[in-house]
Structure 1
Amino acid sequence: MYVVCNDHLEIALEEFVETYEQSPDVYELDQVSFTDWTSPHTCEFCDRHPKYLVV
């Protein structure tokens, strides 16, 4: 699972496919919510605000 900004979405997609050998689902963080999970405040790869959840 990756939580990333616009600039790092492609890297997250590539790493996910390399690791799991399948394509991920991509969600916009402002469009989804989970009861037992809170989105991190920064991108997985930098200090920017994340926009996407890659799972």
Structure 2
Amino acid sequence: MEKKQMACCLEHVELALDIAVDEYETAPVMEKTTETLSCEFCQNQAAYVVGN
């Protein structure tokens, strides 16, 4: 299975978690990030990386 990660801001973390559960049918991993990443949903500063 392909490993997919989504960077997301605090506002969109729930959406990212829902997408990860729907796509992979398993509990996603959510890690706080200190890297300079943009949210995949709104382009604000990302706070978390969500993935499988």
TM-score bracket, shorter-length normalisation: 0.7 to 0.9
Normalized against structure 1, the TM-score is what? 0.77
Aligned residues: 47
CA distance in structure 1 between the partners assigned to 2:9 and 2:46 by the alignment: 4
Larger Rg: 1
Report the equivalent of 2:48: 52
Structure 2 residue runs of 5 or longer lacking an equivalent are none
Report whether the alignment pairs 1:15 with 2:11: no
Structure 1 residue runs of 5 or longer lacking an equivalent are 31-38
Report whether the alignment pairs 1:5 with 2:9: yes
Q: Percent identity among equivalent residues?
A: 32
RMSD: 1.3
Normalized against structure 2, the TM-score is what? 0.81
Higher strand share: 2
